[in-house]
Amino acid sequence: MATHRIRFWRPAAWGKFQRALAARLPCPRPGSCCPSLSPSREGIMKFHATPLTGACLVELEKRGDERGFFARMFCEREFGEAGWPISVVQLNNSVTSKAGTLRGFHYQLAPAAEIKLIRCVRGALYDVVLDLRPDSPSYGKWFGAELSAENRSMMYVPRGCAHAFLTLADETEVVYLVSEAYSPQNERGVRFDDPRFGVDWPLQPTEMSVKDQSWPDFDPDFHGVERLRGLL
């Protein structure tokens, strides 16, 4: 199955987990991968399309002076005008103490299917989006990118896509903007190593919850695929 990923390497400042990540084989065609990842518009935020339908990376446009810098992290109007609409109803915050910890994959079924906007504010993580929408051109594919406090990039996760991340540094802190409140009855998950998708994690996870380890192999009925139709 085709896979797609982006990495933002900073090897000089990294610890053992990041050095192990950077030691992986480089892209065989540097500068040619994912040609669609070019800014879609001028403005205080830059939106970069990904190979997954409706998912994007958001780059903050910093305005600096001798005091430091200012950057807009979210603007509902600007997201909508750029083609990535989201109305935020909940703001979540997580801190993960150890590098090598995996959270996910998580998603919610309709009518509680949610958009997520993910920002790493401390540390670093490898963030992955998995497309579970049966009517999507990128159904069954995944996309990964590094988010860190240094690069300040954000991941826009559309409705009907599952989300997970693997921490690359201790004490990694994440802020999530979400479009729907948590709905336990509509919650589902995909196991990080499900052979149906073959996600290529940069490191073997060393910590995760029992719940995340226990999701069954992908089954369209159990995982509610038909309830993710019509979300494009």
Query: Which residues have a catalytic role annotated?
Result: 106, 176
What are the structure tokens assigned to 113, written together? 């299917």
Between the alpha carbon of residue 66 and those of residues 44, 61, 158, the distances in Å are 19, 17, 37
Smallest Cα–Cα separation from 134: which of 220, 222, 5? 220
10 Å CB burial of residue 42 (0-12, 13-18, 19+) is exposed
Smallest CA-to-CA distance from 155 within 129, 179, 180 is with 129
Per the rule left: phi > 0, alpha: psi between -120 and 50, beta: everything else, 36 is alpha
